[in-house]
Amino acid sequence: MRVVFAGTPDFAVPSLRAAATRAEVIAVYTQPDRPAGRGRALMPSPVKKEALLRGIPVFQPENLKSQITKDALRALKPDLMIVVAYGLILPKSVLEIPGGGCWNVHASMLPRWRGAAPIQRAIEAGDTRTGVCLMQMEAGLDTGPVLLSNETEIGANETGGELHDRLAELGARTLSDALALTSMGMRLQPVVQAEEGVTYAHKLDKAEARLDWQSSATTLANKVRAFNPWPMADAMLAGERVRIHSAIAVPLARAVAPGEIVQADRHGIDIACADGALRIRTLQREGGRMITAADFVNARRDLQLPSPQ
């Protein structure tokens, strides 16, 4: 099977490896090199690095709209195109080029969490289960029929980064299974997505990371988990801006104004919320590294409050 693979970030790398094991990957499409780091030097995407290591030709068009780009893809004569977090829209005319169409590995149990940030939105919403779907692509946003899926639990304290890594591997295994079945002559049966239960995972925005103590503690704890490692939750704490790496929701025994520090000791820093309190366990001061709440309290002796009896 002649396969063209399209992907860009780390999430797509395990799927590229799976595709290269199960099929002949004749080309890789990935986004153009972008400036990164302090020197703003152009850096190749993780998928490009993996493709070059494997000796696979790499194409990096700005978009897939031009006739020249479409002709170049058509000249490859692909049987199938596999898309994993590519980051560019595939026009209908491109979807029709491969003989077997285009498959997409998506990190949610469709139709829940269509869109750009399904992993983080699932955690933010307090979902306890998620998974990956292998979808036959069509013109709509993640609306195509599902060919194969695998479900998994979300850990109670699992962060966006941890779940990202697990789903990347689960997506690769799902893709590998689909390619193996196809190579044996078995036709995957597409299952049309349900019309009920559709939700959209909108792209993450740094402005969302600011914690609002008028929210419930559970809502904020989910947000802290979801936005680790990016964009990372942040808040004002005792007059200084900090980034919060980990926190949990705890009960609040007495009525306290949201935003007030109700406890600060070796166990953490408890901030009153609209419902309950958020116990900050690890955090980062501006320009510093991640530290425990206990280290922060030791550095800010004005915060040392007696533990409630």
Q: Which residue has the higher pLDDT, 150 or 267?
A: 150
pLDDT at 181 over 60: yes
Domains present along the chain, CATH in parentheses: 2-201 (3.40.50.170), 206-303 (3.10.25.10)
Total H helices, total E strands in the chain: 8, 17
Region of poorest pLDDT, from 67-76, 91-100, 160-169, 262-271: 262-271
Concatenated DSSP letters of 127-196: -SEEEEEEEE--SSTT-SPEEEEEEEEPPTT--HHHHHHHHHHHHHHHHHHHHHHHHTTPPP--BPPPSS
pLDDT at 306 over 60: no
Q: Which residue has the higher pLDDT, 304 or 29?
A: 29
Q: What is the pLDDT of residue 38?
A: 80
pLDDT at 127 over 70: yes
Distance CA 86, CA 119 (A): 16
**Cβ atoms of 27 and 58 closer than 8 Å:** yes
Distance CA 25, CA 3 (A): 5
Q: What is the pLDDT of residue 305?
A: 54
**Residues 6+ positions from 114 with CB-CB distance below 8 Å:** 106, 108, 141, 142, 143, 198, 199, 200, 201
Reported as a single tens digit per residue, the pLDDT across 188-223 is 999 999 999 999 999 999 999 999 999 999 999 999
Distance CA 238, CA 301 (A): 11
pLDDT at 65 over 70: yes
Q: What are phi and psi of 62, to 5 degrees?
A: -65, -35
pLDDT confidence bin for 309, thresholds 50/70/90:
very low
In the three-class reduction of DSSP (H, G, I as helix; E, B as strand; rest coil), residue 117 is classed as coil
In the three-class reduction of DSSP (H, G, I as helix; E, B as strand; rest coil), residue 276 is classed as coil
Mean residue pLDDT across the chain:
95
**Residues 6+ positions from 51 with CB-CB distance below 8 Å:** 5, 16, 25, 28, 30, 57, 58
Q: What is the pLDDT of residue 79?
A: 97
Share of the chain above pLDDT 90, in %: 91
Residues making up the annotated binding site are 108-111
Phi-psi region of 184 (alpha: psi -120 to 50; beta: other; left: phi over 0): alpha
Reported as a single tens digit per residue, the pLDDT across 257-287 is 999 999 998 899 999 999 999 999 999 999 9
pLDDT confidence bin for 304, thresholds 50/70/90:
low
Distance CA 86, CA 89 (A): 8
pLDDT confidence bin for 290, thresholds 50/70/90:
very high
Reported as a single tens digit per residue, the pLDDT across 1-27 is 999 999 999 999 999 999 999 999 999
Average pLDDT over residues 153-174: 98
Residues making up the annotated binding site for (6S)-5,6,7,8-tetrahydrofolate are 108-111
